[in-house]
Amino acid sequence: EAAAGMSAASDGGRRPLRVFFLPFFARGHLIPMTDLACRMAAARPAEVEATMVVTPANAALIATTVTRAVDAGHAVRLLRYPFPDVGLESGVECLGTVAQHDAWRVFRAVDLSQPIHEKLLLEHRPDAVVADVPFWWVTGIAAKMGVPRLTFHPVGIFAQLAMNNLYAIRSDIIRDGVAAPSVIVPGMPGKEIAIPPSELPEFLLQDAVLSMEWDNIKAAQLAGFGVIVNTFADLEKTYCDEYRRVDARRAYFVGPVSLPLDSAVHRGGDGNVDCLEWLSTKPSRSVVYACFGSWACFSARQIRELALGLEASNKPFLWVVRSEDSDGLWVPEGWEQRVADRGMVVRGWAPQLAVLAHPSVGAFLTHCGWNSVLEAASAGLPVLTWPLVFEQFINERLVTEVATFGARLWDGGKRNVRVEDADTVPAEAIGRAVAGFMEGGERWDKMRARAGELAEKARAAVSENGSSWRDLHRVIDDLTEANASRVRSNGDS
C-alpha cells in the first residue's frame, strides 16, 4: 500500500490512474459499464488503466469486448472475484441467466458481496472506484482508502429524477390502502408527467427490500465523488440540469457509451450472427426488430399472442426470444413454416447493436430498458414501446411524450409492473400496431425523423468536443486531480 503511494509520488504521478469498475450482476449493467471502462482507457492512453472487477461467469460475458480493447492497445484489465454461494449452480451469476424464481438469490449475492468488495479493494488499492448503484457500501470503503467513489447509473436521468421525486412523496401515493388513479411526478421541469401507480416500481408503493436500500443508495451517491450516467445531454437536457442541481455532487453524462460502434457483434456474449446475414436479404427499413432485454419474462400465453401478432402484421420481423422463454412448446403448431419466408427467431442472444445499425431494420419493438432506448435513439430508429417491469414504464414516457420518437404498442387493457397483474396483449392488437407502424404515414414519419435527429445528436455528443466527450474527459481530469492531491498530502504527512 505504501509502495503504491510512493511510486506515484516519486514519478510525479505519471503512472496511469488505476480505476476499478464494479458492475451489478445483470447484463443491462455489465455491458454499459464495460463500454465505459473501455472508453475511459481509450480516451487517454497511458493515463488511465481501467479494471473490470467481476465474478467469473460475468467475466466470460465481457471477455471479448475486453480483449478487443486490449488488442487496440488500451489498458483494460479483468479482475475476478468469487460469486458468493447463494445456492445457484456454478456458472449462473446474473439476472438474465438465473431462472425467474431464483432471481432473489442474485440480490442475496449482492448483500454477500460487501465484505468481498472491501477485502479486494483494500488489497488492490485503486486510485478511484466506479461502482454500480446497488453497491452503496463502496462509498464508505473508498472513503477509508481516501480515494474517490463514483456511482455508475445504467438508467437515464428522466427516470432517475422521477423515481427520486416519487420516493419523496411515496406515502401519498397509496393512502389507506387505496392507490390514486394517477400520480403527477413532482419536481419534473417542463411537461407534466402523469403515471398510474400500477406502472411504478414497487419499491415506491410499499416497503420492499429496495425501499430500505434506496436510502442507503441515495446517501452513498450524495456522499460520493459524483455520478456517471449513460445518457447524453441533448436527449434529456432539462432533466440533466435539474439532476445536477439536486441529485449529485458532480454529474457526468458520458453516453451513449455504445458509440462509436466498434465491438458490436460480441457485446454481452456470443450473439447469433446468422441473423445479420438474414437481414441482408430483406429490403431497406422493412424489418421490425423485437427484443425485450436480457431478463424480463413473458407468460407462455403472451409469447403465443406475440407470435400470432407478428404473423398477423404481415411484415418481416426479427424476434429475440430468451432461452428460458423458448423452452418447450411456445409457438402455435405450424407457425414457423407459415412465417418462414419473412420472420426469423433468435433463441438466446442477438448482436443487438449490429442489428439496430443494419439498414434493413426499420423499427424496434422494445421493453424500454434504458440501454435499448439509448441504442434505438443512437441508431436513429423509431420504437414501439412495450414496457414490462421496474422503471421501463417511466422510460416509455420519455420516449413517447418528451423525446417523441416512439409510440405505445397497446393501450387497450391493464398494464402493470407486476407481470401477473397485467392483461395479455392480444395478437390482433400487436399485428395492427406493427403493420401500421411499418406502413408509415405522417405520424410515424415524424417519429422516424425525430429518431434520425437524435442519432445525429448522439454521434455529435461522443465526437471530439461533444458534450459526452467533454464529460468523459472531465471525469478523468477530476480524478487525476483528486489523485494528485491525495498523493501530495500522503507525501506531506
* Site of interaction with ligand UDP (CB under 6 A): 27-28, 31, 267-268, 271, 291, 293-296, 320, 349-350, 352-353, 369-372, 375
Nearer to ligand UDP among residue 225 and residue 292 (C-beta):
292
Nearer to ligand UDP among residue 145 and residue 389 (C-beta):
389
Q: What is the CA radius of gyration of the chain?
A: 23
Label the pairing between strands 226-229 and 251-253: parallel
User: Are the beta carbons of 209 and 107 closer than 8 angstroms?
Assistant: yes
Give the integer Cα–Cα distance in Å for 177 and 456.
47
234 tagged catalytic: no
Amino acid at 475: V
Residue 199 Cβ vs ligand UDP, minimum distance, rounded to whole Å:
16
Nearer to ligand UDP among residue 311 and residue 375 (C-beta):
375
User: What are the start-end ranges of the E strands in 280-391?
Assistant: 287-291, 317-321, 343-347, 361-366, 383-385
Residue 304 Cβ vs ligand UDP, minimum distance, rounded to whole Å:
20
Give the integer Cα–Cα distance in Å for 1 and 182.
55
CA 176 to chain centre: 35
Nearer to ligand UDP among residue 349 and residue 437 (C-beta):
349
User: Are the beta carbons of 28 and 352 closer than 8 angstroms?
Assistant: no
Residue 175 Cβ vs ligand UDP, minimum distance, rounded to whole Å:
31
Per annotation, catalytic residue among 35, 74, 127, 132: 132
Report which of 449, 406, 420 is spatially closest to residue 202, judged by C-alpha positions.
420
Helices and strands (H and E) in the chain: how many: 19, 17
Residue 125 Rama label (left phi>0; alpha psi -120 to 50; beta):
left
User: Which residues contact residue 417 at a Cβ distance below 8 angstroms, ignoring those fewer than 6 apart?
Assistant: 198, 199, 200, 201, 202, 388, 389, 390, 393
Nearer to ligand UDP among residue 31 and residue 161 (C-beta):
31
Give the integer Cα–Cα distance in Å for 110 and 359.
40
Nearer to ligand UDP among residue 8 and residue 69 (C-beta):
69
Residue 446 Cβ vs ligand UDP, minimum distance, rounded to whole Å:
24
Q: How many Cβ atoms sit within 10 Å of the Cβ of residue 418?
A: 9
Residue 388 Cβ vs ligand UDP, minimum distance, rounded to whole Å:
8
Residue 365 Cβ vs ligand UDP, minimum distance, rounded to whole Å:
13
Q: CA angle at residue 234 from 474 to 472, to 5 degrees?
A: 15
29 tagged catalytic: yes
Nearer to ligand UDP among residue 126 and residue 369 (C-beta):
369
Residue 349 Cβ vs ligand UDP, minimum distance, rounded to whole Å:
4
Which amino acids are annotated catalytic? 29, 132
